[in-house]
Structure 1
Amino acid sequence: MIQRLKRDASNGPLRRLGDMVLYQFRMGTNPRRVSIYLSEKGIDVPRYELDYANLEHRTPEYLMINPAGRAPTLVTDDGTVITEAAAIVEYIEELFPQPAMIGTSPEQRAKVRALERIGNDLIARSMLWLWNTTDAFPRKEPKPSKAFAEMLYRHVQELLDVLELTIGENEFLAGDAPTIADCTVFPIFQTARERFKLPYAEHYPRLNAWYENFRTRKSAQY
């Protein structure tokens, strides 16, 4: 989603003018897609860390910037507001195409985008699973259901099966170099395994090897 932010929209602490700023929640799965990507690209963007614990992302000031009340949100130096991690990543990739992280040919870009969209779906299904596996999301799921979680995980596994098959012997999801597909899929593994200590995708040897390899990269450090 892209909109134009009026420069006098807020007089509060969230107002940042004259430069690009990324509103994030550092531990969040979707914000980490952007932060990992930026690190891999070697790009530094000023950050504003939203206080999720105190619901800063639901304040009127932030909702004027992103009506969905979610992170990440990128505000460009001319006041353009870009929401949703995938849109932010592709916007920055267009500004800074090197090193290429979507591919250098139509075929490569199609493959990377297909994997990235599988990653989007994986995050959506996995977050529903997390909401029903832990009690850490009372606003999202006040009554977690173990039975529902088990059903959801079967749908998660459908996508993990695809990724396990697709990666083959590659070092990264789409080949021998990291792409936006890795930046999309890695954070949900890290969220489940490190933030919540859950046995996520543990029976996938190729994905496990990929995860352990990517985890050593500077971009993957919390």
Structure 2
Amino acid sequence: MLLYQFQKGTNPRRVIIYLNEKGIDVPRYELDYAGGEHKSPEYLAINPSGRAPTLVTDEGMSITDSAAIVEYLEDLHPEKSMIGVDAISRAKIRSLERLGTDLVARSQLWLWNITRSFPAMEPSPSLKVASKILVYVTEILDVLEATIGDNEFLAGDRPTVADCTVFPIFQTCRERFELPFGSAHPRLDLWYKNFRQRPSAEY
């Protein structure tokens, strides 16, 4: 088994943080994004999208979606479940995880337009477009703010795959691009600051 990752990438971090929280040791290979290794013929043969992460299983199968990688590993390591222990908890956690996945997608579109750091994704960034997208980003942040309530973590009193999904986009925006992402949402702001202190969140 081998995980191809880009340590600072939002989607790879979902898997990295999950592995750290679960205490699962998987061999890893850090892709040289700056050098374009993720677009090399060798990597494209493994993951045609040319993105990270990719988990190559012991059977030689390439899993190229971060959520699918987490679910696959959770199936292999069901102890101390991070997806839920019964139908109700699984439904709650998965709904939050999927909401988080939607947040990541919308927020990445926003980042592509509010910064000039992603020319391959958006060669002509537009602050006007970014402003429109932010409305849809805020829509999800509002839901998460209401859902978390006084919980320490998004789904309750312990970390789940929902935290592993949502935290990386906060970290990307705040640490890599110094943007006040979610700062207008006090419960999420506190959740982020507390989760950031966990060893799993370190770069």
Q: Please indicate the TM-score interval, normalised by the length of the shorter structure.
A: over 0.9
Q: Work out the number of aligned pairs and report it.
A: 203
CA distance in 2, matches of 1:180, 1:201: 19
CA distance in 2, matches of 1:39, 1:123: 20
The residue that corresponds to 2:92 in the other structure is 111
Superposed displacement of residue 83, structure 1? 1.0
Superposed displacement of residue 96, structure 1? 0.1
SS of match in other structure, 1:22: strand
CA distance in 2, matches of 1:44, 1:195: 26
CA distance in 2, matches of 1:205, 1:99: 29
CA distance in 1, matches of 2:35, 2:86: 45
CA deviations over 1:136-173 (Å, ceiling 9, x no partner): 00111111100100100010000000000000000000
Superposed displacement of residue 208, structure 1? 0.5
Which of 71, 75, 81 is 1:100 aligned to? 81
CA distance in 1, matches of 2:128, 2:50: 29
The residue that corresponds to 2:195 in the other structure is 214
2:125 equivalent to 1:144: yes
The residue that corresponds to 2:64 in the other structure is 83
Which of 5, 12, 15 is 1:34 aligned to? 15
**Equivalent residue runs for 1:1-222 within 5 Å:** 20-222=1-203
CA distance in 1, matches of 2:173, 2:14: 14
Superposed displacement of residue 128, structure 1? 0.3
CA distance in 2, matches of 1:78, 1:199: 43
TM-score, length-normalised on structure 1?
0.91
CA distance in 2, matches of 1:36, 1:162: 23
Superposed displacement of residue 201, structure 1? 1.1
SS of match in other structure, 2:75: helix
- One-letter amino acid of the structure 2 residue matched with residue 110 of structure 1: A
Misfit runs of 4+, over 2 Å: none
CA deviations over 1:16-52 (Å, ceiling 9, x no partner): xxxx100000100000000000000001111111111
CA distance in 1, matches of 2:43, 2:111: 26
CA distance in 2, matches of 1:218, 1:195: 18
CA distance in 1, matches of 2:125, 2:134: 14
Answer with 1 or 2: which has the greater Rg.
1
CA distance in 1, matches of 2:184, 2:20: 29
SS of match in other structure, 2:34: helix
- One-letter amino acid of the structure 2 residue matched with residue 95 of structure 1: L
CA-based RMSD of the aligned residues comes to 0.5
